[in-house]
Amino acid sequence: MPLITIELMTGTTVEHRKAISDGLHEAMQEILDIPDDDRFHVFHELSEGDLVHEPVVFGIPRTTSRMLLITLSFNERSPEQKNALFAAVVRRLEEHAGVRRDELPLRVVETARENWWGDGRVVNPQTGYDERMTPAVP
């Protein structure tokens, strides 16, 4: 049950946020094999002055239109899965919402699966894991 928090500047449309959500969900399905009904995306709009950064970061110009994505996921994802997920998110958000890759910092915050609960999950009592999702790292 990944929970994704998206922080972006105020003034985006409902349609743009839906396009972002669709791109994120497709990337999660592609790489982590999450079920169709496993979508939890929370949008937070920031006012001018709420996001402070240098105009050039790591040699790349940044604008105030940039978006921050925070993905909370289980802790069993391998570095390879995370890298594949980052690539898929960048690709899908560019396709769906026109988000430029240089304006898209991504971060994964890992939490142990025992710290998640949601009624309706299909959990294997022996593993404590929702079997509909991609297997955890062995």
DSSP letters of 100-138?
-GGG--EEEEEE-GGG---TT--EETTTTEETTSPPPP-
In CATH, the architecture of 3-114+122-130 is 2-Layer Sandwich (3.30)
Note the pLDDT of residue 126: 74
pLDDT tens digit at each of 138 positions of the chain? 688 999 888 988 999 999 999 999 999 999 988 889 889 899 999 898 888 888 888 888 877 666 666 776 666 788 999 999 999 999 999 999 999 888 888 888 887 766 666 666 666 777 666 666 655 554
Note the pLDDT of residue 90: 94
Beta strands in 79-132 (DSSP E): 106-111, 123-124, 129-130
Provide the token pair at 36. Answer: 């169709």
The reply to whether the predicted model has a pTM over 0.85 is no
